[in-house]
C-alpha cells in the first residue's frame, strides 16, 4: 500500500523508473489539499485515456476542483510536455490543471549559463532547470531561454531525495 490517498500502482517495471513514479504520487498525497491521487493505469482509467494516448503517471485531485499532473521521468522532457498537454485536453471539464511536476533522478551540470551567469543544470537533452526549479526550453539559442509551459503553466522539476 502506497498510502491511503493513492489509488493504483506504478506502470514502470525498471526499479528506478518505478521509484520516480512512486515518489511523485507520494509527493502529491502529502499535500493537505489532495483528496485522491491516481497512479499508473488508474490515472488513465479515471480520465478515460485510450491506451495509445500519452498521459502522465500521476494525476491528483485537489480541493476546489483543481488537478495536479505529475510524471516520473528519466531524461525525455519533450515527452513530459506531450503527456501534460494531452492530459490537460483529456481532463477538460473534470477540473482545472493548477500544478505540474516531473520527478527526475538527477540533474546534469552543463557548460551553459543563463543571462545572470548562473550555470544551468540539464534535466534532459534540450531542457534545463532555471533558478526557481522550473523546466527551461533550451532547444534554441541562449542565454535567454524561457520556461517550458504546458497547459499554460510552467513545469516544476523535482530531484529525487
Q: What is the mean pLDDT of residues 81-88?
A: 96
Per the CB < 8 A criterion, the answer to whether 6 and 34 are in contact is: no
Residue-wise pLDDT for 27-45, tens only, equals 999 999 999 999 999 999 9
Domain boundaries, the chain: 6-104, 108-147
pLDDT digits (tens, 9 = 90+) for 59-72: 999 998 999 999 99
What is the pLDDT confidence band of residue 116, given thresholds at 50, 70 and 90?
Answer: confident
CA–CA separation, 93 and 88 (whole Å):
10
Angle (CA) 69 72 76, round 5°: 100
Cell 534532459 found at = 124
Helices (H), 2-119: 15-29, 41-46, 77-91
**CA distance between the termini of the chain:** 20
What integer pLDDT is reported at residue 25 of this predicted model?
A: 98
Amino acid at each position: 500500500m502506497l498510502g491511503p490517498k493513492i489509488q493504483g500502482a506504478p506502470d514502470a517495471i525498471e526499479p528506478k523508473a518505478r521509484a520516480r513514479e512512486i515518489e511523485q504520487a507520494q509527493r502529491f498525497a502529502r499535500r493537505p489539499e489532495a483528496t485522491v491521487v491516481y497512479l499508473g493505469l488508474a490515472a488513465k482509467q479515471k480520465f478515460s485515456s485510450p491506451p495509445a494516448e500519452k498521459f502522465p503517471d500521476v494525476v491528483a485531485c485537489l480541493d476546489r476542483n483543481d488537478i495536479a499532473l505529475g510524471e516520473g521521468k528519466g531524461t525525455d522532457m519533450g515527452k513530459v510536455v506531450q503527456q501534460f498537454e494531452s492530459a490537460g485536453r483529456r481532463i477538460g471539464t473534470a477540473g482545472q490543471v493548477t500544478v505540474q511536476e516531473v520527478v527526475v533522478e538527477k540533474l546534469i551540470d552543463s557548460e551553459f549559463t543563463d543571462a545572470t551567469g548562473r550555470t544551468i543544470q540539464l534535466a534532459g537533452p534540450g531542457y534545463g532547470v532555471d533558478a526557481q526549479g522550473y523546466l527551461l526550453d533550451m532547444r534554441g539559442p541562449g542565454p535567454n531561454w524561457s520556461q517550458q509551459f504546458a497547459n499554460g503553466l510552467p513545469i516544476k522539476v523535482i530531484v529525487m531525495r
